């Protein structure tokens, strides 16, 4: 759950600026920290800090100092309890071949085993990220070129990775053979750009070329662009949660616009589980499109019943406990005129812990809703993710602990239903015509694509 | 264009915290600066700063130090070119009767004349706000009570004012006889609260009692609440722009939920000027409700065609000029799947300068829209506002300079139409059943409710 | 206890920069806040903040924005318990004649009476400073010119004032008829400068011309420099504490270099009260010169027995109470080699509360001093100051509460003696040949130069 | 040129606070950055930042969060051109044995060779410090205990190091066999403390036990304190510049109070090269003691002729070039009364580039000094230092480029003389009775204690 952006061959000294915009457009993928490393072919420049992109690069000089036509950047997601400055990416180190920096989206699943092996050989670690393992493997490789060293490293790691790797004069891009996480490839005039989501291209007027393919490595340098497969073909397991919740609706992910898939989820949900109500509302902004799809198929009026306050920031003073439910009220306000005396269907994209939804349901009732029906445009999240999605432990996943009937009671709503796993996959498959509908649905089914060591979770920072 | 909040009789030392939440809920009414003055009955405490509410009160101590059960607060709107720290409100001064603080929403129209008179008597001014004139008039009054001094002052000023005035132990609230600006009166247990918009009440679980009436003054102190009219009745002239654009849709303003009026504007607009198109989109978030109303009456599908980026902040580094149209793209991104090859109707609430809309139209075309039809849920803004709405000079108002046909060409869209003034007033009148439909529509018609000196504008800070 | 600086006629846009340096050189006169107001002849620019000069003007733009060839600046001293942002000077207001700003060093003694009168006429006050009274009196004057208005105002106030007053195009300078506080007049090429202390001139290579005389007003504008007496001659009462402690030793104050007077205090002290000891040390840095004078006359070796840590700042985390005496140890460390097994005479300039000295004496003993003899190069401070020196109340002045014998026991030292009042005045008189030895010695004798209302103290901010 | 502090066995959670005070007392040894790592026996806590100790630990929580009874800290010196956040110490990494942190004062001379070897084995480097090499060597060692791993590492490095190394539950301290840099060992109740200079002990009321010996390693853990030699005895080469300039005069360094040695330098200088003058002044604060020693032997009056401004900070706005010599004037002001018409001898501790001294000499003349005689209490600095002292290249060392006669002319002074190398060593030898007078004097003589590769300098950060 991070965002990455890279550029090779920008006009002089523009690479860091493009990367800045690319990170800004992908701010939703990670708000804890941001960083950019650039190169002018000889020297490497960097700036990192905890905070939003616009805070990290508050001073114009923070970007102007990052010279060169080559740059990579990274937005890190905040994972509860373990945030610290050491983990800010891109990681930047010096090896015998010069400087090496890396921006990583995704999580490895054999980190512990690899790290132990490396530590036994005397390697030292600065961070608690799995990404640092990749850096060590590259540095240890005896291969002749950076490309070969990267491949040798990647063949040892398992799990999810969309990677940008940068030396003083090369940009190397790679995606794991399963293709868990998205990675887009674009072009702006003669410059080559990469980003987790294509919305980053729109901002700088770059054009979308294609997705980097699973198992593909692309080397960009003064000799041009060289792309090839570095791993044997395996079954694709695109992260379906990117489509359900995480990516921006205006991005292409896995090759298609996200909002199309989300509207389809809403439509299928309406077919499966229509509700008898006067009005359909969404939880803004993430479930807007699914709610619109639901409403149009269900033929119920779509209205804006919740207003989101966008001024809430990290610095908000924590409210006292005397004001119950204040947290959710700081974020959402109900629109009385829409809700009063109405039967309300509220569409949300997913339920993780369920605490926010429970409070929202209560707000709706306080605003006069006569009935509250909850419709979720994905299946129940019952299992943790080891590939980068920041779900809590099974015990904290409400759908792991309760039946839907129990949840309906606990949420104190009139009805609750989810989109079935079959229709979820079908909707995704229809929308993404080129994808063959090959998705990782482990968070719903527990069927993990690879053998994941049971203790792997909660040890390394996700990204 | 500012937001105010006041409380009398909160539980011990809670007044500043309530005011903080009240200002936070009204952040949209002013982002330049924020301030709170509180009183424990003997001593007065204050904290002000440039910035958003959550920045101004970043440190918990900044609120905890504001002791007492009485407080008023203010959010100031940023007016181009003249922002400075001297103008932060509430104004707090010392007079022979003790401390006096004031929070003002609205603009006076006889400031110059009054200020000259005061300066000739040796009064000194710290700020460039018209609000300071009111403070001087109160301080100069020889009347026996603060209430009488306030009334004497108000009878000398002309224009728009919703006012909160505070001494060590009284909260006095007043609204100009025309009732230009809204002012809500609420209650939470035994505490009395006031706010520009009722959304501030929702956040602290206070209940809406009624609007403060035009020409009414309310005195709250240990002896209770005393309300009376201080001025002769005049024709009401509620600011219709509060309904069209400025207030939050979940607020009650002039006694009714704003979103109801806005949906009605959209519906009437569709009746007047339906477009032949495949999809209706809004400019989020201000025109969402009007667009929904339009779509439902026009029977065209409503979709989310523009995504708003909420991470953009004050600290955003200004983009260079090489990237044309970057400003609007930092704020909005198009959703390709919704727009491509479609005939698109975009509903906006109003056009002021028109530059943003022109860029949005181009973004829509670049995203593949086949036709772009613009529908505005209010009449053309042709005249400046002297009562607090931050419109530019007539020359900068595009509807003052061009015909609708010229604007259509300039915007480079397929069609453009506005809601008529008649239907605007009718929609507002229907929605606000108690209002008698008495509105100030000077920005559309040039019919100002009072004689405004021609040079009044652009001299004093608006609020 | 504040520092002021003003300039007229600097090269284009340099006035604020000179003032910045002038305030920096006088930082010792006030560390709570700093501010500069400048004028380019038409517009007035200002920047103020709490903090040291180098913090207040941290960004280059904070000075560059202050355009023009005319400027005044002010450093405010921190007075316990009442520091706040409203009191930052220069005060800047708008009157019917345009903008007016004022920087004031000294304290008035009839503030309450004047303020009551002004408030009864409806004047409002923003600050708790006596300086604001002067602004009101000037604004209320009906005289034709600013100079005459200033004079009319000054003839109403009593007490200490060295004043810089600025309109868009005039700099007016005035000093009270008693001449309590110093005020130097200098020149750099064609520019005229003023400062509390001449050390401010050295930094910008300006030359010292003379002191502004008691009761003199100087008007500087495009017509040149006009100086005259505005008040009848009265007995001079120069503040002797400026010479004893407050001014920098490298400044000219009351016309002579301060270090000369201080060395003389030390020499006279040795004649009066020599000690039998092995080494003389000072409390750095304020008593260095007096200690050198003492040592040379007493013919005892001067050594550096205490090292002062200059890294201690406002932001230092307050130490816990488990570490006794940590406060003074953060500031001073003993030099073991100088003190061990020695009889030590420590010279200090004055004793106010005595708490620091008591802790220093203990540090000296802990470092191995066999005997500790305290010599003070001024008389016992027994009475509060109403003219600007920030002494505490009589009860907190240790010399008001104890005899010298009692203090010796309380300080736990082997001997304690002070310079007599006669020799203090004689030393000052000899050193300042032009002064006629006319000093305010009220803090030692209780003989105040004017009738001071008993309740005047502790009400208004000192400066 | 850095400062280090370590503690084992403090009362619960006090270790970080003691370290904070220890770093504060040693702020003069490094102002670029500061950091502390602490351990509660299981978990390791850290906080680092660019800036002064009091800025880095501005928030009380920044220290409170550093739990445990074991901690080490580091102040880094600013070296021109290469300062960056990666180099902040203590370095903290994770190895197969757990966390490892290190604080290092001194410079290695075989860094390049070791680093190449490590990089060839695939080690990656984050910093440009030589200290990181030590960390890698420790991590790579296959020895059974941390103590043995540290020894194996140290036997591979050459150069200067006073080291604090910390695991979760051990504090290991080591000093290079030459003993270039000082390292003091102290005790406070049952806690063991270490610091570069003993002044750090005074602040926390710890007592000085002894210096850590050259070639000694000390292991402190729950089993107690174990000290032993880890290397064969070699000739000691204490850095004589610590005595001449770098250490605080109130510290014990190499076993003796620094101020004693410095006074002796001054006395010997007077014997060698007395000047005929009216007054002796120092360059405060570093040459105060030497100047006092000089004056007493030369029987010339010591006076304070230069005042140092301590408000100058990192944030000071850089003066423009129109004001020549402003830099030195911001730092020093002349005392006119002391200098005018006098023959002045100014004592300084050393001359590196000579630019400041040249400007000071001019200031003295401008203040009226009739003659200016410069006396330096050490020999000419002619050669760079490879062991940690931040001298520039030979070309920038004025004494390397000019004869004394040429320097006298260039400085524009009446005479210049230095203390001879013989008397420098003799004075140090007499003062440090236990030292056998074994010093590194390479900066004066070019006789480096070890073979230093010619390109070693200017590549790695000094500390």
Residue A327 and residue A387 share a domain: yes
* DSSP 8-state code for residue B42: S
Last residue of one domain, picked from the residues B214, B232, B250:
B232
User: Nearest by CB to C124, which of B95, B116, B119?
Assistant: B95
Q: D51 to each of C58, C319, D24, D76, D285, how far by Cα in Å?
A: 15, 20, 12, 9, 22
Q: What backbone phi and psi angles, to 5 degrees, belong to C8? A: -125, 130
- Statement: residue C93 has pLDDT above 90: yes
Cβ-contact A200, A16 below 8 angstroms: no
Asked if C94's CB is within 8 angstroms of B125's CB, the reply is: yes
Using 50, 70 and 90 to split pLDDT, how confident is the model at A1? confident
| D292, closest residue in chain C (CA to CA) | C303
Sheet holding B3-8, edge to edge: B44-50, B33-39, B70-76, B3-8, B191-195, B184-188, B207-211
Structure tokens, B157: 């000023």
Q: What is the mean pLDDT of residues C361-384?
A: 96
| A113, closest residue in chain D (CA to CA) | D96
Residue B447 lies in a domain: no
Positions of E strands within C353-458: 371-376, 415-418, 439-440
Asked if A307's CB is within 8 angstroms of B250's CB, the reply is: yes
Q: Which chain C residues are Cβ-neighbours of B119 within 8 angstroms?
A: 94-96, 139
Q: Closest Cα of chain B to A423: distance in Å?
A: 21
| D112, closest residue in chain A (CA to CA) | A96
Enumerate the active-site residues of B. 2
Report pLDDT for C459: 47
User: Nearest by CB to D95, which of A95, A119, A140?
Assistant: A119
CA D106, CA D119: separation in Å to the nearest integer? Answer: 22
Among C60, C259, C260, which would you mutate to test the D interface (most chain D Cβ atoms within 10 Å of its Cβ)? C259
Contacts of A117 (CB under 8 A, 6+ apart): none
User: Nearest by CB to C337, which of D259, D288, D320?
Assistant: D259
| D62, closest residue in chain C (CA to CA) | C317
Q: Which chain A residues are Cβ-neighbours of D121 within 8 angstroms?
A: 122, 140
CA D130, CA C203: separation in Å to the nearest integer? Answer: 42
Give residue-wise pLDDT tens across range A329-382.
Answer: 888 999 988 999 999 999 999 999 999 999 999 999 999 999 999 999 999 999
Residue A431 lies in a domain: yes
Cβ-contact C47, C55 below 8 angstroms: no
Q: What is the CATH number of the domain that holds A194?
A: 3.60.20.10
Report pLDDT for C81: 44
Residue B425 and residue B343 share a domain: yes
Distance of CA D229 to the CA centre of its chain: 24
Residue A453 lies in a domain: no
Q: Which domain holds residue C137?
A: 3-232
User: Nearest by CB to A336, which of B21, B257, B329?
Assistant: B257
| B128, closest residue in chain C (CA to CA) | C94
Mean pLDDT (chain C, rounded) = 91
Q: Which chain A residues are Cβ-neighbours of D119 within 8 angstroms?
A: 94-96, 139
Task: Using DSSP, state whether C2 is helix, strand or coil.
Answer: coil
Q: Which chain D residues are Cβ-neighbours of C335 within 8 angstroms?
A: 249-250, 257, 259
Cβ-contact B217, B174 below 8 angstroms: yes
Q: What is the mean pLDDT of residues B130-136?
A: 95
Asked if A140's CB is within 8 angstroms of D122's CB, the reply is: yes
Structural element, H or E, at residue A279: strand A279-282
Asked if C136's CB is within 8 angstroms of B122's CB, the reply is: yes
Asked if B304's CB is within 8 angstroms of A259's CB, the reply is: yes
Q: Closest Cα of chain B to A191: distance in Å?
A: 15
Residue C458 lies in a domain: no
Q: Closest Cα of chain A to B320: distance in Å?
A: 10
Choose among A69, D118, D171: nearest CA to D126. D118
Report pLDDT for A437: 64
User: Nearest by CB to B296, which of A301, A309, A315?
Assistant: A301
CA A122, CA D345: separation in Å to the nearest integer? Answer: 59
Report pLDDT for A233: 87
Give residue-wise pLDDT tens across range C153-198.
Answer: 999 999 999 999 999 999 999 999 999 999 999 999 999 999 999 9
- Touching status, chains B and A (3+ beta-carbon pairs under 8 Å): yes
Report pLDDT for A223: 96
Residue D253 lies in a domain: no
Q: Which chain A residues are Cβ-neighbours of D122 within 8 angstroms?
A: 95, 121, 123, 136, 139-141
Report pLDDT for D437: 65
Residue A263 and residue A224 share a domain: no
| Torsion sign across C-alpha atoms C236, C237, C243, C246 | negative
Task: Using DSSP, state whether D63 is helix, strand or coil.
Answer: helix
Task: Using DSSP, state whether D440 is helix, strand or coil.
Answer: strand
Q: Which parts of chain D register pLDDT below 70? A: 78-83, 312-325, 434-437, 451-463
Choose among C13, C9, C132: nearest CA to C68. C13
Mean pLDDT (chain B, rounded) = 91
Give the max Cα distance, chain B: 72
Asked if B96's CB is within 8 angstroms of C125's CB, the reply is: no
Asked if C120's CB is within 8 angstroms of B122's CB, the reply is: no
Give residue-wise pLDDT tens across range A377-412.
Answer: 999 999 999 998 888 888 999 999 999 999 999 999
| D308, closest residue in chain C (CA to CA) | C285
Last residue of one domain, picked from the residues B232, B251, B273:
B232
Residue C455 lies in a domain: no
Q: What total number of domains does chain C contain? A: 2
Q: Closest Cα of chain B to A313: distance in Å?
A: 7
Question: Number of B:C CB contacts under 8 A?
Answer: 65
Question: Number of C:D CB contacts under 8 A?
Answer: 134
Residue D174 and residue D36 share a domain: yes
Last residue of one domain, picked from the residues B215, B232, B249:
B232
Look up the pTM and report it: 0.91
User: Nearest by CB to C311, which of D27, D330, D335?
Assistant: D27
Residues of C with CB under 8 A from a CB of B: 86, 92-96, 100, 116, 119-126, 128, 135-136, 139-141
Residue A121 and residue A66 share a domain: yes
Among C81, C122, C143, which would you mutate to test the B interface (most chain B Cβ atoms within 10 Å of its Cβ)? C122
User: Nearest by CB to C125, which of B94, B121, B128?
Assistant: B94
Q: Which chain B residues are Cβ-neighbours of A303 within 8 angstroms?
A: 292
Residue B289 and residue B177 share a domain: no
- Statement: residue C57 has pLDDT above 70: yes
Q: Which chain D residues are Cβ-neighbours of C27 within 8 angstroms?
A: 309, 311
ipTM (interface predicted TM): 0.90
Chains touching C (3+ CB pairs < 8 Å): B, D
Q: Which chain A residues are Cβ-neighbours of D124 within 8 angstroms?
A: 93-95, 100, 123, 135-136, 139
- Statement: residue C311 has pLDDT above 60: yes
Report pLDDT for D459: 46
Q: What is the mean pLDDT of residues B330-350?
A: 94
Distance of CA A296 to the CA centre of its chain: 28
Residue A211 and residue A309 share a domain: no
Q: Closest Cα of chain D to C388: distance in Å?
A: 23
Residue B86 and residue B35 share a domain: yes
Asked if A126's CB is within 8 angstroms of D123's CB, the reply is: no
| A301, closest residue in chain B (CA to CA) | B296
- Statement: residue A316 has pLDDT above 80: no
Residue B385 and residue B285 share a domain: yes
Q: Closest Cα of chain D to A122: distance in Å?
A: 4
Residues of A with CB under 8 A from a CB of D: 86, 92-96, 100, 116, 119-126, 128, 135-136, 139-141
Report pLDDT for A321: 47
Give residue-wise pLDDT tens across range A187-237.
Answer: 999 999 999 999 999 999 999 999 999 999 999 999 999 999 999 989 999
* DSSP 8-state code for residue C245: I
Asked if B52's CB is within 8 angstroms of A313's CB, the reply is: yes
Residue C441 lies in a domain: no
Q: Closest Cα of chain A to D135: distance in Å?
A: 8
Residue B317 and residue B222 share a domain: no
Asked if C100's CB is within 8 angstroms of B122's CB, the reply is: no
Q: C222 to each of C170, C191, C208, D236, D244, how far by Cα in Å?
A: 8, 11, 21, 72, 56
Choose among D167, D165, D195, D178: nearest CA to D68. D167
Report pLDDT for D322: 53
Q: Closest Cα of chain D to C25: distance in Å?
A: 8
- Touching status, chains A and C (3+ beta-carbon pairs under 8 Å): no
Residue C202 and residue C54 share a domain: yes
Q: What is the mean pLDDT of residues A303-321?
A: 69
Mean pLDDT (chain A, rounded) = 91
Residue B269 and residue B223 share a domain: no
Q: What is the CATH number of the domain that holds D422?
A: 3.40.50.2020
Asked if D259's CB is within 8 angstroms of C335's CB, the reply is: yes
CA B86, CA B84: separation in Å to the nearest integer? Answer: 6
Over pLDDT 70: what percentage of chain C? Answer: 92
Report pLDDT for C275: 83
Residue A238 lies in a domain: no
């Amino acid at each position: 759950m991070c965002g990455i952006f890279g550029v090779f061959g920008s006009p002089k000294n523009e690479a860091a600026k493009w990367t800045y915009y690319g990170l800004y457009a992908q701010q939703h993928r990670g708000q804890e920290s941001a960083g950019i490393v650039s190169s002018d072919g000889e020297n490497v420049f960097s700036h990192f800090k905890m905070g939003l992109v616009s805070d990290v690069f508050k001073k114009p000089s923070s970007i102007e100092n990052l010279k060169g036509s080559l740059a990579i950047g990274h937005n890190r997601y905040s994972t509860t309890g373990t945030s610290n400055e050491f983990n800010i990416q891109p990681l930047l180190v010096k090896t015998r071949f010069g400087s090496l920096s890396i921006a990583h989206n995704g999580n490895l699943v054999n980190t512990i085993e690899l790290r132990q092996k490396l530590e036994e050989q005397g390697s030292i670690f600065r961070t608690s990220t799995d990404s640092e393992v990749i850096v060590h493997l590259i540095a240890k490789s005896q291969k002749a070129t950076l490309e070969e060293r990267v491949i040798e490293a990647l063949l040892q790691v398992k799990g999810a990775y969309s990677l940008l790797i940068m030396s003083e004069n090369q940009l190397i891009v790679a995606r794991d053979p399963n293709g868990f996480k998205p990675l887009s490839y674009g072009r702006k005039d003669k410059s080559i750009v990469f980003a987790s989501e294509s919305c980053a291209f729109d901002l700088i007027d770059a054009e979308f070329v294609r997705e980097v393919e699973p198992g593909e490595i692309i080397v960009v340098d003064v000799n041009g662009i060289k792309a090839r497969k570095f791993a044997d073909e395996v079954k694709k397991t695109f992260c379906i949660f990117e489509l359900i919740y995480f990516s921006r609706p205006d991005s292409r992910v896995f090759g298609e616009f996200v909002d199309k898939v989300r509207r389809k989820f809403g439509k299928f949900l309406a077919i499966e589980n229509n509700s008898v109500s006067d009005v359909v509302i969404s939880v803004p902004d993430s479930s807007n499109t699914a709610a619109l799809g639901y409403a149009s198929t269900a033929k119920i009026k779509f209205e804006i019943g919740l207003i989101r306050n966008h001024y809430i920031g990290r610095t908000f003073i924590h409210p006292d406990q005397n004001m119950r439910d204040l947290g959710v009220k700081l974020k959402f306000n109900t629109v009385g005129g829409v809700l009063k005396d109405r039967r309300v269907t509220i569409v949300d994209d997913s339920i993780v812990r369920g605490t926010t939804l429970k409070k929202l349901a209560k707000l709706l009732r306080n605003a006069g809703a006569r009935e509250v029906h909850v419709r979720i445009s994905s299946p129940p999240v019952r299992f943790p993710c080891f590939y980068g999605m920041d779900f809590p432990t099974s015990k904290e996943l409400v759908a792991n602990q309760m039946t839907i009937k129990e949840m309906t009671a606990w949420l104190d709503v009139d009805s609750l239903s989810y989109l079935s796993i079959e229709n979820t996959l079908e909707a995704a498959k229809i929308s993404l015509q080129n994808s063959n509908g090959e998705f990782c649905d482990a968070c719903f089914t527990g069927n993990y694509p690879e053998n994941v060591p049971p203790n792997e979770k909660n040890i390394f920072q996700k990204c």
